[in-house]
Amino acid sequence: MEFLALLGTPLAGALALAWFGARRRAPEANAALSLATLAAAVALTVRVFGAGNLTFFHEQFFIDPFNVFLVTLTALVGFTTSMFSRPYMRVELDHGRISAGRLRLYHSMYQLFIATMLLALTTNNLGLMWVAMEAATLSTVLLVTLYRTPASLEAGWKYFILCGVGIAQALFGTILLYIAAEKVLGAEGVSALLWTHLNAVKAQLEPRVLSLAFVFLLVGYGTKVGLAPLHNWLPDAHAEGPTPISAVLSGLLLNVAIYAVVRCKILVEGSLHSPLPAQMLMGFGMLSVVLASFLLWRQRDIKRLFAYSSIEHMGIIAFAFGMGGAIANFAALLHMTVHSLTKSAIFFAAGHAAQKSGTQIMERIRGLVTVSPTVGWGLMLGSLAILGMPPFGVFASEFLILTTAMREQPWATPILLIALGVAFAAIFGRVQSMVFGETTVKRLPHTPALLPVFLHLALVLMLGLFIPPYLAEWYRAAARMIGGG
């Protein structure tokens, strides 16, 4: 029942909002549907931790501690983003940036996007996971191009073409997985692509075929993750799309893509018994961290700035999963959580700042703490959190990753520290001027409602000070599963 509600609610919502998504109460309906999806995700999580792993519809769907953790995170951020988009998109409509028809498209595609991500996370079939990832791309292309400006159309085409090429590589990798599985499992059709079946016989799969498959899968899904040098679509898509879409792209879609990579890594490592998958992940992750950190200095657009920050943090997560082991996997899962919460909160605050200032150029946004204190402090605290300042949760996860690297990959530690220092200076210097700089603009008579910002930051602060025992066990169970335990 919970599983049907989890996938059925956003799918039904997408169809319903395609009809009345432009009406006055459509934003509330969008938020209500997202809340129902969150309730289903929480109920499913409780069931998994009570009954263990679950399968549905003849094993075509599979829930374990790894994906149920991401399902709940996706539903939570999806709900808070829908709450943020209520006032934000109404202002965009009032200012004439979108029409009623585009508002209907926004609400419908938002629910479809949530549905495709949840489908990718819960399916046991690697072929269906590929289909869900492609559907997520197609739905978000329509959202990125919502404003229909030349820049947004260019960003949408770049996103579509680059991710289309990437997802084609992932399709070829999936076909290679099927070829390897068919020889072991027999001619079982789609059953040969069930992850649980493949995981049970991974030691018998042809290593050479799987090593080639992983190259294509990593390049394909790595494009969706935004790993360098496959990242070119990400800054444009984040900068030109509506801010709520920037928040879910950065906070959710990147997690789903790296989830797909890790699922494939588990299979390939079990077949190869070699460090090749781990080395590839660490290499792409390290390159992403270094490149994004230095590219941060060149940015003038606030949303592009934090888009490059997302590339940096996904590189950190990829590097941690590449190191493997109980602590590194635990830290990577924690970092996925705190990055999603923090980055979406930052985009919420940055979106309000850009909307009130009429520009996304950072040099033209000054004195936010005077003009709108909640926006200013939300942006400042979010920036400090994402930069790894204690006691926020990002500090805890990065500390675990760095200390593990000191022990297992000592060559990487100084590179990571330098890159993190460069990123800190680039972001803090710009945000400090935006928040506390001199301004001639008068204080806003109406302060934007920023409950989602401070809710997310409160959760990130809590995870930096104290991880509840049930949540810690959640991470440990997922980390054991990723490590083959």
DSSP 320-375: HHHH-HHHHHHHHHHHHHHHHHHHHHHHHHHHHHHHHHT--BGGG---HHHH-HHH
* pLDDT for 485: 55
* pLDDT for 437: 81
Q: Note whether 7 and 115 are within 8 A (CB).
A: yes
Give the confidence band of 10 by pLDDT, cuts at 50, 70, 90: very high
> Angle 323-258-74 (CA atoms, 0-180°, nearest 5)?
125
Largest CA-CA distance found in the chain, in angstroms, rounded: 72
Q: What is the mean pLDDT of residues 321-347?
A: 95
Give the confidence band of 191 by pLDDT, cuts at 50, 70, 90: confident
* pLDDT for 115: 96
* pLDDT for 190: 66
* pLDDT for 2: 85
Each domain of the chain, given as residue ranges in start order, spans: 290-485
Mean pLDDT of the chain: 90
Neighbours of 55 (CB within 10 A): 15
Tokens for 386? 């994402």
Of 107-116, 117-126, 268-277, the one with minimum mean pLDDT is 268-277
* pLDDT for 65: 86
Give the confidence band of 82 by pLDDT, cuts at 50, 70, 90: very high
Percent of the chain with pLDDT over 70: 96
Q: Note whether 82 and 31 are within 8 A (CB).
A: yes
Least Cα distance to 305 among 257, 358, 254, 246 occurs for: 246
Q: What is the mean pLDDT of residues 101-108?
A: 92
* pLDDT for 439: 74
Q: Note whether 177 and 213 are within 8 A (CB).
A: yes
Question: Which residues on adjacent β-strands are paired with residue 61?
Answer: 56, 123
- For residue range 340-362, list pLDDT tens digits in order: 999 999 999 999 888 888 888 89
Query: Tell me, what amino acid is at 233?
Result: W
CA 297 – CA 278 distance, rounded (Å): 30
> φ, ψ for residue 125 (rounded to 5)?
-95, 115
Query: Tell me, what amino acid is at 27?
Result: P
DSSP 3-state of 151 = helix
- For residue range 236-253, list pLDDT tens digits in order: 999 898 999 999 999 999
H or E stretch at 445: none
pLDDT at residue 448 is higher than 70:
no
pLDDT at residue 303 is higher than 80:
yes
* pLDDT for 49: 80
Least Cα distance to 310 among 280, 283, 357, 342 occurs for: 342
Give the confidence band of 292 by pLDDT, cuts at 50, 70, 90: very high
User: What pTM, to 2 d.p., does this model score?
Assistant: 0.94
Percent of the chain with pLDDT over 90: 64
Q: Which residues contact 370 (CB under 8 A, 6 or more apart)?
A: 376, 439, 441, 443
- Can you say whether the dihedral through the CA atoms of 58, 167, 198, 62 is positive or negative? negative
pLDDT at residue 200 is higher than 60:
yes
Is residue 18 packed enough to be buried (19+ CB in 10 Å), middle (13-18) or exposed (0-12)?
Answer: middle
